[in-house]
Amino acid sequence: MKQPIITIQNLSADVEGRQILKGINLTIHPGETHAIMGPNGSGKSTLAAILAGREGYNITGGEVIYGGRDLLALDPEERACEGVFLAFQYPVEIPGVNSTYFLRAAYNEIRKHRGLAELDAVDFLTFVKEKVKLLDLPEDLLKRPVNYGFSGGEKKRNEIFQMAVLEPKFAILDETDSGLDIDALKIVSNGVNTLKRSDNAQLVITHYQRLLNFIVPDFVHVLNDGRIVKSGGKELALELEETGYEGMIHAAAAPA
Amino acid sequence: MIPMNMNENKPTVALANRVPEPTIDEKELGLSGRNANEPAWLLSDRKVGRARFAELGLPSLRDEDWRFTKVAPIAEMEFKPELEPGSHGVTERELNQFPFNGLAGSQLVFVNGQFAPELSSVAKLPEGVKVMSLADVLATEPALVKPHLCRHALTDTNAFTALNTAYFQDGAFIHVPAGQAVAEPIHLRFVSTAKHDGTTAHPRNLIVAARNSRVTVIESYVSLSNATYFTNSVTELVAGDNAVVEHLKLQDENQQSFHIGTLAAHCGRTSNVVTHSIALGAKLSRTNIYAALAGEGLECILNGLYLTRAEQLADHYMIVDHAEAHGESHEYFNGILADKSKGVFHGRILVRPGAQKTDAKQTNKNLLLSDNATANTKPQLEIYADDVKCTHGATLGQLNDESIFYLRSRCIPLEKARRMLVHAFAGEIIDRVRCIAVREELDRLVWDRLEQNQQITANSS
């Protein structure tokens, strides 16, 4: 049997004394796409943030094993170099930092980490122009400051574009569908699907089933009040569409 | 008077009423050396300046416009004007180390406020364009200068301008006739070789861009000296109707020196004037920018960046005077302050009656790299028209945690992420420089300075 990419065991965390995650268990193998669905405030984005290494959370129990290592002990940049990628729900605008410069710096950090030579500006530009096409992004985006003045749709596409450049082993998409119209949703999904390989994995966090029509998950987990209350195949998302979160959470809580 | 000593705490109480006695003899006023052939009208302006200075004295902290900037150390200096003309032994090689050295185009070099023709070079210029020393043009064609010199930099409230007017010896004169465009930037270089504390220079520049003309002018102030000297510069800039002017001042003087610089710009109808003030050096620097927006439909951008460390103080004082309708002005000033240094920003926007549809914006952002750094920011809006848009905003703070996390989540190590963000903060200002060669060099220069600053990577978030 294949080694899992990531194993989350009984993960609990609080923010300023308030318990948000109450024992999450999740194992993801290479080649798999998992979806986490849940109502607002269920802890979806907190889970994403903790996996990526955002500060401000207090881990109160459990562990996360990634590639045989204790993920929570690593700095965010080490996690990223090891192949963890978070597509932000709200990508940050960084005026004054040129997109190409930023991406090359990021890409070269990974190359350094793997003991490879850094790419110079010319080689990187050739490489990156290929990736831009994948997301149907205008090339002039590369000349603009990171996310600065981008539309909501452009920012989300830019996240997936960065994912295409950095080629992560484990990508977390945090509500990447929010704020996207149907055309942008298709472009983003198509990008994500193209990047799927047998040796990487994706964790798709979403509130709505809609995204999962385009990024078809192997497993769906329903998160409520800091716990996974139900897991199943892709049909679970459709079921959820029928019953709503209330109905399903209620049924899951009742004894079988 | 005694040479100043920074380590002594001198009482400053008496300063407000104190009028320092200039050590120059009255007869030297406008009548010595290269200034001997000055026209009579200038002598009368000089006398007015001298009288105004005597009346005003140097400002004190009680003066509202100088609340945050103590000029007492300047007052305590013994002014020693440099009267020797020439290059003072400065070689081209020595100039090579300074910014914008390789810039294509004309350059005029001034050493201790005196013109150094052997270090200067004037490129081939379009018909009628003049790039020369002010003293020379005063001696040969004073009529070109008379309508403008001393007409824009007013002495009534500014003691330093009064002092400059009384005692300036030389500076640059640039004249671009109507319809002409100078493609390459003109670089005015001011070098100090001051050997003694108190050495004083009063460079005076006049830039006239007639209607429909276009020009880019760089002023750089640098040191080949470790002395505590004083630069008191005044530049008058006249942009005629529809003229497009880019002006940049780089102040990078030694860390002991004092720098007071005034730019008085007069902007005509539908002109487009952008001026950048980059303050990196000096112990104490004050840049006054007076922008008289004297025509309809013009655009004026005042853009600035100050980087301070140790006990440096960088002060910018601006008055943007909207006198006519449909004028647009933007002030953007960013400061990066380390150690115990201090940044001061005072931006006054005046909208006169009749200046309807004015659109005036002002922002001042300060990044504090140390707990001991201070920023004082003071916006001031005076609006006498009823259909205008005026906004101002000021921020003070440290690097944004969310941005740092975003960069780290993209593999960029913490230290590098901080550097990138500080650089970006400076980049917001640098990106507004239109002349590409100047912008690129300035970007490298600022980057190098930031790299030298250990506090960028210190625990400042």
Q: B400-427, pLDDT tens digit by residue?
A: 899 999 999 999 999 999 999 999 999 9
Minimal Cβ distance to A95: which of B406, B416, B428: B428
Q: How far apart are CA B261 and CA B7, in angstroms?
A: 25
Q: Do B401 and A94 touch (CB under 8 A)?
A: no
Query: Is the CB of A52 less than 8 angstroms away from the CB of B409?
Result: yes
Residue B204 has pLDDT above 50, yes or no: yes
| Chain A interface test: which of B406, B411, B419 (most A C-beta within 10 Å) | B411
Name the minimum distance, in Å, from the CA of B413 to any CA of chain A. Answer: 6
| More confidently predicted of B28 and B43 | B43
Locus of tokens 């005597």: B54
Distances (CA, A) of B276 to B120, B350, B358, B390, B430: 23, 20, 22, 21, 9
> DSSP 3-state assignment of A206?
strand
Of A96, A102, A162, the CB nearest to B425: A96
Q: Rounded mean pLDDT of B387-408?
A: 93
Of B405, B411, B431, the CB nearest to A110: B411
3-state SS track over A144-202 = CEECCCCCHHHHHHHHHHHHHHHCCCEEEEECCCCCCCHHHHHHHHHHHHHHCCCCCEE
Phi, psi of B258 (to 5 degrees): -115, 135
Instruction: For residue A30, give the CATH number of its domain.
Output: 3.40.50.300
pLDDT single digits (tens) B5-32: 333 333 333 333 344 444 444 444 544 5
A1 domain-assigned: no
Number of structural domains (chain A) is: 1
Instruction: Point out the residue among B410, B420, B424 whose CB comes nearest to the CB of A80.
Output: B410
CB contact under 8 A, B408 and A162: no
Task: Flag whether pLDDT at B458 surpasses 70.
Answer: no
Output the pLDDT for position B10: 34
CB pair distance less than 8 Å for B408 and A77? yes
Q: Tens digits of per-residue pLDDT, B108-155? A: 999 999 999 999 999 999 999 999 999 999 999 999 999 999 999 999
- The answer to whether B192 and B253 have CB atoms below 8 angstroms apart is yes
**How many CA within 13 A on the CB side of residue A177?**
19
Inter-chain CB proximity B421 and A94 less than 8 Å: yes
Query: Region B270-281: what's the mean pLDDT?
Result: 98
Nearest-CA residue of chain A relative to B401? A55
Q: Contacts of residue B419 in chain A, CB cutoff 8 Å?
A: none
pLDDT for residue B269: 98
Work out the minimum CA distance from B341 to partner chain A, whole angstroms: 24
* Nearest chain A Cα distance for residue B407, angstroms: 8
Range of the domain at A165: 6-253
Least confident of A96-100, B142-146, B238-242: A96-100
A96 and B426 in contact by Cβ < 8 A? yes
- Is B267's pLDDT higher than 70? yes
Contact B406 A97 (CB under 8 A): no
Residue A144 near residue A158, CB atoms below 8 Å: no
The interface pTM score, or ipTM, of the predicted complex is: 0.95
Query: Alpha carbon of B218 to those of A17, B187, B188, B315, B438: distances in Å?
Result: 57, 5, 6, 20, 9
Q: Look at residues A76, A22, A66, A33 and name the one whose alpha carbon lies nearest to residue A205.
A: A33
pLDDT at B19: 42
| Cα–chain center distance at B24 | 25
CB contact under 8 A, A96 and B401: no
Query: pLDDT tens for residues A72-91?
Result: 999 999 999 999 999 999 99
Give chain B's contact residues with A (Cβ, < 8 Å). Answer: 400-403, 405-414, 416-417, 420-421, 423-428, 431
Per-residue pLDDT, averaged over A196-208, amounts to 94
pLDDT digits (tens, 9 = 90+) for A101-120: 999 999 999 999 999 999 99
> How far off is chain B from A251, nearest CA to CA, in Å?
38
> Which positions in chain A have a beta carbon within 8 angstroms of at least one beta carbon in chain B?
52-55, 75-77, 79-81, 85-86, 88, 91-92, 94-97, 102, 105-107, 109-110, 113, 145, 162, 166
pTM: predicted TM-score of the whole model, two decimal places: 0.82
Query: Which chain B residues touch A80 with a CB distance below 8 Å?
Result: 408-411
Kindly give, in sequence order, each residue whose CB lies less than 8 Å from that of residue A114, ignoring residues fewer than 6 positions away: none
How many residue pairs bridge chain A and chain B with CB atoms within 8 Å of each other?
Answer: 76
**Listed ranges A142-146, B263-267, B426-430; the one with the highest mean pLDDT:** B263-267
Residue of B nearest to A75 (CA): B408
Q: Which among A121, A119, A166, A160 has a CA at the least distance from the CA of A137?
A: A160
Under the banding of pLDDT at 50, 70 and 90, the label for residue A10 is very high
Of B344, B338, B288, B335, nearest in space to B313 by CA: B344
Whole-number pLDDT of residue B31: 45
Q: What is the model's pLDDT at position A53?
A: 97
A97 vs B458, which has greater pLDDT?
Answer: A97
B136-142: which pairs have CB atoms within 8 A and are 24 or more residues apart?
Answer: B136/B34, B136/B173, B137/B173, B138/B35, B138/B37, B138/B38, B138/B39, B138/B42, B139/B34, B139/B37, B139/B38, B142/B38, B142/B39, B142/B42
Q: Are the C-beta atoms of residues B99 and B442 closer than 8 Å to each other?
A: yes
Instruction: Tell which residue, B461, B411, B421, has the closest CA to residue A53.
Output: B411
Write the residue in A75, A94, A102 that is nearest to B408 by C-beta.
A75
